[in-house]
């Protein structure tokens, strides 16, 4: 009986040691690519909101507004452009087929890319929220609301 318990205990320890607690490079790479795919959709919102703000800047709605209102919209357009450029830069430098010399190098590369793509994601979230709010103030549908209203059921 003692040998049987020792054997089961040893098998359990081997099993637990074999299990990785940290995700591997392939798992992180997949997650990075999933975030990228979501951001491609968000990128469309960034571009649409930027176009709407460009139009607003030239519209009659701003003729009676102060220069600070116009400057705030110009600054927001600049932030939208920067967010879009950051995404393009990330995509340009991302190596989908990265092969390091070791598994750790692969893992480190994809972890570093996860940090970078999360920064892009954060900037997209902030600038989309901010631009949606400004568009709402001027009674202009944001890109998201327009897409929803274009879908007829």
Domain count, the chain: 1
Asked if the model's pLDDT at residue 136 lies above 70, the reply is yes
pLDDT at 143: 58
**116: in domain:** yes
**17: in domain:** no
Better-scored residue on pLDDT, 142 or 152:
142
**2: in domain:** no
Other CB atoms within 10 Å distance of the CB of residue 145:
13
pLDDT at 40: 97
**Pair 143, 44: CB distance under 8 Å:** yes
DSSP three-state, residue 143: helix
Cα(82)–Cα(9) distance, rounded to whole angstroms? 57
Better-scored residue on pLDDT, 72 or 142:
72
**69: in domain:** yes
What domain range is 103 assigned to?
23-150
**9: in domain:** no
pTM confidence score: 0.77
Average pLDDT over residues 110-123: 98
Average pLDDT over residues 50-62: 88
């Amino acid at each position: 009986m003692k040998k049987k318990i020792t054997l089961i205990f040893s098998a359990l320890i081997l099993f637990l040691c074999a299990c990785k607690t940290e995700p591997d490079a392939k798992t992180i790479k997949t997650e990075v690519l999933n975030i990228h795919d979501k951001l491609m959709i968000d990128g469309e919102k960034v571009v649409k909101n930027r176009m709407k703000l460009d139009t607003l800047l030239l519209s009659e709605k701003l003729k009676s507004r102060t220069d600070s209102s116009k400057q705030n919209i110009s600054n927001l357009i600049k932030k939208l452009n920067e967010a879009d450029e950051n995404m393009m830069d990330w995509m340009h430098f991302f190596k989908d087929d990265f092969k390091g010399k070791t598994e750790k190098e692969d893992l480190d590369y994809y972890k570093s890319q996860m940090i970078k793509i999360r920064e892009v994601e954060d900037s997209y979230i902030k600038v989309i929220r901010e631009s949606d709010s400004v568009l709402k103030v001027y009674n202009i549908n944001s890109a998201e609301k327009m897409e929803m209203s274009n879908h007829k059921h």
